[in-house]
Amino acid sequence: MDPDRRTLITGAAAAAAYAALPGSGFTAEKRSPVVKTTNGKVRGYLDGEVSVFKGLRYGADTGGARRFMPPVPPEPWTDVKDALAYGPASMQTGKGEEGEPLSEDCLFLNVWTPAKAGKNGLADGGKRPVMFYIHGGAYNGGSGASPWYEGTKLAKRGDVVVVTVNHRLNAFGYLYLARIFNDPSVADSGNAGQLDLVLALRWVRDNIAAFGGDPDRVMLFGQSGGGAKIATLMGMPAAKGLFHRAATMSGQQVTVGGPFNATRRAKAFLDKLAIKDLAALRALPPAEMLNGLKAVDPIAASGGVYMGPVLDERSLTRHPFFPDAAPEGLAVPMMCGNTHDETKGFIGWDAKAFPQTWDEVVARLPGQFNARIDIDPETVVAFYRQTYPNYSPADVYFAASTAGRSWKAAIIQAEERARAGAPAYVYQVNWKSPIQGGIFGAPHTIDIGLVFGTLDAKGSIVGTGPESVAMSNTMSDAFVNFARAGDPNGGALPKWEPYTLERRQTMVFDNASRMEDDPRGAERRFFNRVPFTQFGT
């Protein structure tokens, strides 16, 4: 089925179901806000006091002959398009969100706004800050339709406009073919997914005022892979001026892939598919193209082949944070965060998988470091046992793997910002997930639900008790303040100072949040003995 038709049918069904709810009061005037965009009129729906628009098309279909090419705006329309259901997510090896289709035709975004309808639709002159969220899932999976990213609560609490976005992923967005095929149409294939995000930001610049937002106060925030995409955008000249604050949440991009390694990966991908010419590759059904991702990565020599942004000397002419912070992003206020127990979020929430002995820790640490750092694991364990004598084997395993695998890149970003005189506001989440009595600590992803306020979303790890609500309100308010003024101060938190090399000021989010200078400083200094390599580069 044509994706546009599928989205419209789904949206119409959603509207009919909504209208049938007892007491819904569904009328064209009350329940169906209509907004005129540069592409045409769109119709959303009201969720309480928030107007919601899902599946807004910001780019044309990227399949067929346009596979691997930069995105272009869609053709305008003259009717009113329903925007009541999420658009398809990018093709990926995993499943999309429940009921979410996958398609090459995936350039859709979603908007939540508290703007009130009037003579000019939702353009009420409110000039609200825009919080543009980029999903995680590395560069391989995910979408803007996760219930964790549902924007109603955040839009209402902060009086902000919330946007989430889909873009091309994995080989559809990052397969670098420029050195394999002498064809100008694939010159930008290694960064097509990033260029999708640039096009989405241009849509926001041109349209968000019609939804009650301020195009001059656009904040990017994203967790894990979303944070990495944001860091990459900070080094892209094409993105300059399209966003005005940036927050990376447990996701950093110090370096991007080099062109020769990216070419080796593309060759491995093509060999796996047994394809040698561009026309055949473009004609391959999208589901079959995913099989190429099963190729063994020729650089890491294990796992599936990595796809990510490339130093192609076109979209990217330098690394985002090497040898220093890219000058394109220095004027953008930045927030850079991580969680205390990042790697506890990578083991499937199974306490039985915790290492029980010191020998297990030594054997398993190299797999967690995964070529990011190269250091003797016995030396690592000895350091932690001396520094934290009360730590169990599991405590050491997660502390060391977090510090070496996940935290190091965040430190580099903060340090390079400070060296350039454009410091970041740095945070660390210590607040523990209430799941199973807190044994998982503060794992990867915990800050998503806290910022969005989606405490009761399917699969949530943050709980709904009083402490969860209080922590969510605190983090959400800090992010809203940052979106509003480029400074997270102004709420219940103590004074939040930017990061300097002399003190390394860090906001520690907990039941009693506090500022600390150089938290876990001993671990930071220990891992400084070896260089850090960004995964995939």
What are phi and psi for residue 436, nearest 5 degrees? 50, 45
Label residue 70 exposed, middle or buried (CB < 10 Å: 0-12, 13-18, 19+).
buried
The DSSP 8-state label assigned to residue 336 in this structure reads E
Q: Which residue is listed with tokens 């540069």?
A: 38
Would residue 302 show up in a list of annotated catalytic residues for this protein?
no
From CA 142, how far away is CA 313, in angstroms rounded? 28
Q: Which residue is listed with tokens 């094409």?
A: 238
From CA 204, how far away is CA 110, in angstroms rounded? 11
H helical segments located in 284-406 = 286-289, 358-369, 377-387, 393-401
Among 51, 103, 224, 250, which one carries the catalytic annotation?
Answer: 224
Among 444, 460, 468, 523, which one carries the catalytic annotation?
Answer: 444
**Residue 222's beta-bridge partner residues?**
134, 248
CA 387, chain centre distance (Å)? 34
Angle at 273 between CA 272 and CA 274, to 5 degrees: 95
What are phi and psi for residue 51, nearest 5 degrees? -85, 135
What are phi and psi for residue 45, nearest 5 degrees? -150, 165
Would residue 135 show up in a list of annotated catalytic residues for this protein?
no
- Alpha-carbon distances, residue 369 vs 149, 407, 499 (angstroms): 29, 11, 26
**Percentages of the chain per state (helix, strand, coil), in multiples of 5:** 40, 15, 45
Would residue 444 show up in a list of annotated catalytic residues for this protein?
yes
Of 63, 96, 221, 81, which Cα lies nearest the Cα of 154? 221
Of 315, 59, 24, 102, which Cα lies nearest the Cα of 199? 59
Of 272, 275, 265, which Cα lies nearest the Cα of 306? 265
Among 100, 104, 342, 523, which one carries the catalytic annotation?
Answer: 342
User: Two tokens at 423?
Assistant: 């410091």
Q: Which residue is listed with tokens 């990495």?
A: 228
Q: Half-sphere exposure (CA, 13 Å, Cβ side) for 315?
A: 28
Of 332, 503, 342, which Cα lies nearest the Cα of 424? 332
Which sequence positions are flagged as catalytic?
Answer: 224, 342, 444
